[in-house]
Amino acid sequence: MLRNGETGDWIGTFEGHKGAVWSCSLDTNALRAASGSADFTAKLWDALTGDELHSFEHKHIVRACAFSEDTHFLLTGGVEKVLRIFDLNRPDAPPREVENSPGSIRTVAWLHSDQTILSSCTDNGGVRLWDVRTGKIVHTLETKSPVTSAEVSQDGRYITTADGTTVKFWDANHYGLVKSYNMPCNMESASLEPKFGNKFIAGGEDMWIHMFDFNTGEEIGSEKHLILSQLIWELGMMLVADIPDIKQGCNKGHHGPVHCVRFSPGGESYASGSEDGTIRIWQTGPQNLEEPDSFVSGKVKVVVDEVTRKVEGFHVGKDGKTGNKEKALDG
């Protein structure tokens, strides 16, 4: 489903997959969407009309997908242990394959102006960085536990990873470990605030969304729930939810483990998706002293509860909005 980011109103529903959708992504212009599914395909969609533009066949479940920054390429990975790069200008052409992944691929991302790709595995620790030109691993970020979430910061400076009871921040250019913080439980996902970079959120098995100070690792507050400009897929349905309106969430949480958390591009909101089948958008708090008192950290802006299945992931658009796509998707 596609939803309006300001009102939460339903705009349209995209259908096509024949299995659970594990991953989704919007390109930087929010004109196309991509999804990876248990039906052994990755699909490319027109985000304005909902039309399926292309279906990329795989030999096993596709767990992760990501558009390159220039929007010309789509990176996929999954149970096959193979990274594939599809040229979207020639969608029928065979993909470039980067093999030798040590395990089933859980996450993928682009960095360094599309010169490097990263991936993490479900059954091995660490994040591997590959040179796109040579297809060779250039570095491995070592972790003791499998990395369940890897995010490249908006300014390209940091790679944020969640592995077991630890959230780590790595220098995205020199690959050194910048900070490592122990968490109160196993964390499935973590995200760095993009505007100031002074705080981060993490969610996991205790059903809470925790917020921490980036410089000290001290917990700032614990909130619970969901999203601002969001794209979700389950059983062939894509949900883009953009929404606002909240209550203090410190005593209310998801009713299942939290699988994914992400800040909106401006940092004013953050989203969480859970095993309980809901996505929630939370207000971060006032960005400056002139903002009204109604902008209180931990307020739930929106709850999307029509998903019916567990939420494994979502994607927040670069501008945090769907723009005027309501006019394009007309049922």
Query: What domain range includes position 257?
Result: 2-316
The overall pTM is greater than 0.85: no
Domain presence at residue 328:
no
- CATH code for the domain in which residue 119 is found: 2.130.10.10
Cβ-based neighbour number of residue 268 at 10 Å: 20
61 three-state secondary structure: coil
Residue 330 lies in a domain: no
62-111: per-residue pLDDT in tens? Answer: 999 999 999 999 999 999 999 999 999 999 999 999 987 899 999 999 99
In a domain? residue 325: no
What tens digit of pLDDT does each residue of 281-330 get?
888 865 444 444 433 455 555 565 555 555 555 555 566 554 444 444 54
Contacts of 41 (CB under 8 A, 6+ apart): 17, 55, 56, 57, 58, 62
Residue 21 lies in a domain: yes
Residue 326 lies in a domain: no
- Residue 254 token pair: 């998801």
What's the pLDDT tens digit per position in 155-173? Answer: 999 999 999 999 999 999 9
Instruction: Of 237, 262, 277, 272, give the one whose Cα is nearest residue 317.
Output: 262
How many domains does the chain fold into?
1
- Under a CB-based contact definition with an 8 Å cutoff, are residues 240 and 9 in contact? no
331 assigned to some structural domain: no
